[in-house]
Amino acid sequence: MNDTERWPLVLQRDRNAQFVYAVNSTGVYCRPSCPSRRPRPENVRFFDSAQQAEKAGFRPCRRCQPRDQLPARAQLVRDLCRYLEANSDRRVSLTELGEFASMSPFHLQREFQAELGVSPRQYQQALRDRQSIKPRERVRYGFFTSPLGSGLVAATDKGVCAVSFGPDIEVLREWLINELPWAELQEGEVSQHAAEVIRAIDTGLSEVPLDIRGTVFQRKVWEALRAIPVGETRTYEELAEMTERPAAVRAAGTACGSNRIAVLIPCHRAKRKDGGLGGYRWGLEIKRELLKRESSVCS
């Protein structure tokens, strides 16, 4: 497939296209299905893989996360969520979602609910509820240096709403903008919150208030994670049982991946049934380090 054939697939946000595209003006590369605004064609470069794009100096989009190699259903549902978020100012029908995903509305609803534990309509309602709390709610954020590298913490008047780690502050800032589209972001003093994050890294404990937002099922999973004692882990199956939804194992794993408050909501304490680490939004090296630290605290 040549570049002339690839460009229409980007315009169509084709989910099945097996390549990535990069934008010279931003230095970012994306999946063709990324819901972000389409770039000018003269600024676009195409690559067969994420590795090729990064070797050429481009960094992965924080919105569509083109580096991740997810199972087909997980990737489908993530694309659907991004589509709903990009069109959160209106009601998106199942028929429209089915056309976007090239599948029947019935099958789409079943796959979506199995992955997230909520229907597309409930997900849209959660988006509207979040956006209607206040128009452009103020969120203070700042950067700090942690034992895990560069960190970011953001908080509303209710409490910490985002914690992340990354290679540099610009990547972290871009992540925050994409994660909190409803927020009026103000960079400022966050030393007290940062100190609590570092305390959580060192001891597994913290007392800082949190502003937790998500679907009902996501919040149940996150509360279950917070109930796991320091130094212990639970399987995704056990997490699903803790939410009284024992069949929602995959949805419990997806909820862990949707957590935007690293360390303070300890999704690093979730592991696969076979003992493997599973995934981790901030990288498996950070997950290993957190588990290692908690184990040493309890030994």
Catalytic (active-site) positions: 30, 267
CB atoms within 10 A of CB 7: 16
Q: What is the CA radius of gyration of the chain?
A: 19
The three state secondary structure string of 41-104 is HHHEEEECCHHHHHHCCCEECCCCCCCCCCCHHHHHHHHHHHHHHHCCCCCCCHHHHHHHHCCC
Q: Would you call 273 exposed, middle or buried from its count of C-beta atoms within 10 A (0-12, 13-18, 19+)?
A: exposed
By the 8 A CB rule, do 144 and 285 touch?
no
CB atoms within 10 A of CB 82: 20
**DSSP annotation string for 101-126:** HTS-HHHHHHHHHHHHSS-HHHHHHH
Can you tell me the distance from the alpha carbon of 214 to that of 193, in angstroms, rounded to the nearest whole number?
21
